[in-house]
Amino acid sequence: MSAEQTSRLDRVDRAILRLLQQDGRASIRSVAERVHVSRANAYARISRMVEEGVIRGFTARVDHEKSGQGASAYITLKIVQNSWRTIREQLLGLPGVAHIALVGGEYDVLMLVHTADNRALRELVLNRIQAIPDVLGTQTMLVFEESDQVPPDA
């Protein structure tokens, strides 16, 4: 999102975004009532934010343990310089990858993965990720507990 788009979001737009982050299935009527605008106004605002790419989609928040993916980890990667585009495509094709990001700092890539168990996690890291030619090294941090609740003041 550009600085120009950010500046065009007013208090009501940000309130709508918070509500939709908490419940992507909220009805237009419910959203309108909770932010104190008409249904037509809420619909127009959501449509505009979708069209402008502010809202990129609507997803379900999943309880990974209940869905059979009880092991989660953040994995950091050091990669060969200028190999991000190639590596990104390979990482996105791996099972259990929830999020990847090119980052600055000690590591180059940060990724979040969910697997069935630690054995599957080990397989993913040692035999799949470390086998990618431009991956120079990895560090795996097990997730003991997760919270993806959007804070009310976000």
What is the strand order of the sheet 97-102 is part of? 97-102, 109-115, 71-79, 135-142
Token pair 């795996």: residue: 140
Structural domains in the chain, sorted by start: 3-51 (1.10.10.10), 71-142 (3.30.70.920)
Backbone angles phi, psi at 127, to 5 degrees: -105, -15
**Residue pLDDT, tens place only, 89-107:** 999 999 999 999 999 999 9
Q: Which residue has the higher pLDDT, 62 or 4?
A: 62
Determine the average pLDDT of the residues in 25-44: 94
What percent of the chain is modeled with pLDDT above 90? 73
**96 within 8 A of 125, measured Cβ to Cβ:** no
**Residue pLDDT, tens place only, 107-150:** 999 999 999 999 999 999 999 999 999 999 999 999 998 776 55
